[in-house]
Each structure stands twice: as C-alpha cells, then as structure tokens.
C-alpha cells in the first residue's frame, strides 16, 4: 500500500521534473552547439589571407598583401618555367598582342607579368567572414569576371571565376614560410626602351 501511495504521489511530480530536466539539458546542449559554431565562425574570421599562395590552374604563385587602394592587393610573384597559359589570362589584351606581333608568347613575354597586379575587387559575401565575392580583371580577354574566394582554413582557398557560361574552379594553397625560398620573386626582363 505504501509503495502504491508513493507511486501515486511521486509519478505526477516526476513527470514535470523529468520534462524540465530534459528541456534544460537540451537547452544547454543547444547553447553549447551554438557556442561551438560561434567559436568556429570567429576562428574563420581571423584567417589572414596575406602571404604566398600556390595557384593550381596555372603553375604560378600569387602574393597577397594589404594595400591602401583595396583591402588586399594580389600580384603575380612567381611563374614556373614552361607555364604559358597565364599569359592568355593576365597578359596584354588581344589588340596589344597583335600590335606587338605576339602569337606565341616567349619566356620574356611571360616574365613581363612578374610583379603585375591581379586586379580584383572583393567584399564580404554574407555573414561568413571567410567568404569574399567580387570581380577580377582578365586582361588577356579584355573583360571583368565574377570571382568568389572562400578561405576554408588557414592554408586553403577555394576560388571560382565565372562569366556567363564560362566558369572555372581552383584551389589555392598557402605556401609555408620554410618553402618561400623555392618560389623566389620573378623579375620582368629588362628590354630596351623604344
């Protein structure tokens, strides 16, 4: 009889207590998950894109520095021996190539790109500070294209360049300081002035 009385008195009390405890635990778990997500978001926001980045679409290295005119100023830092495709994208436009009689660029023509800026204008893309969107000037084609850059971690950037039906995706990898000597800044050739 005492057991039945305890069950009768405690069961109505236990149910609300159990529900309250379960809800409190779920709330703490949700808060903890939200706090972890916020920490990851803050971690992404502190990613500094400055440094040397190996581009995979072309065999080149891009140096990203802070600058006065834009938030970041990327320049062509290094071009591998035998790399020619970069000239079609970031070399002079078709008119200038025709005027100079360049059908197939020489190594000296390609090295003219050393130190030249990769003109892109970027701004934050939504609430994720690791994502940027904007435009890039593809001088070899005489056009501006859409560009997105997403820093997925400290050493990796996913890049997408698109215009109408044209779209290219690439992954840029940060070059660690101990490998910088391997990618010495290239210099444009010294050519006689006309």
Q: What is the pLDDT of residue 84?
A: 94
What's the pTM?
0.72
- Confidence band, pLDDT 50/70/90 cuts, at residue 20: very low
Q: What is the pLDDT of residue 38?
A: 52
* Average pLDDT taken over every residue of the chain: 80
Task: Identify the CA nearest to 69 among candidates 140, 114, 119, 113.
Answer: 119
What are the DSSP calls for 5-74, one per residue?
HHHHHHHHHHHHHHHHHHHHHHHHHHHHHHHHHHHHHHHHHT----EEEEETTTTEEEEEEE-SSSSEEE
Could you report the per-residue pLDDT of 115-166, keeping only the tens digit for each?
999 888 888 888 888 888 999 999 999 999 999 999 999 999 999 999 988 8
Q: What is the pLDDT of residue 120?
A: 84
b/e for 176-194, b at 16 or more Cβ within 10 A?
eeeeeeebeebeeeeeeee
CATH of domain 51-183: 2.40.128
Residue with the bigger pLDDT between 40 and 25: it is 40
Residue spans of the domains in the chain: they are 1-46, 51-183
Q: Which of 32-36, 64-68, 144-148, 153-157 has the lowest mean pLDDT?
A: 32-36
């Amino acid at each position: 009889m005492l057991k039945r009385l305890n069950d009768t008195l405690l069961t109505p009390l236990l149910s609300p207590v159990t529900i309250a405890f379960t809800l409190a635990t779920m709330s703490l778990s949700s808060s903890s998950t939200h706090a972890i997500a916020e920490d990851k978001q803050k971690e992404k926001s502190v990613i500094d894109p400055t440094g040397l980045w190996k581009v995979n679409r072309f065999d080149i290295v891009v140096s990203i520095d802070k600058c006065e005119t834009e938030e970041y100023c990327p320049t062509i830092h290094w071009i591998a021996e035998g790399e020619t495709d970069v000239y079609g994208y970031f070399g002079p436009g078709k008119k200038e190539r025709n005027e100079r009689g360049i059908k197939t660029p020489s190594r000296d023509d390609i090295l003219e790109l050393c130190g030249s800026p990769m003109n892109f204008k970027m701004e934050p893309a939504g609430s994720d500070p690791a994502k940027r969107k904007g435009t890039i000037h593809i001088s070899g084609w005489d056009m501006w294209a859409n560009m997105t850059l997403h820093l997925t971690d400290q050493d990796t950037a996913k890049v997408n360049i698109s215009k109408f039906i044209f779209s290219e995706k690439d992954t840029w990898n940060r070059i660690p300081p101990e490998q910088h000597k391997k990618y010495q800044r290239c210099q444009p050739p010294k050519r006689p002035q006309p």
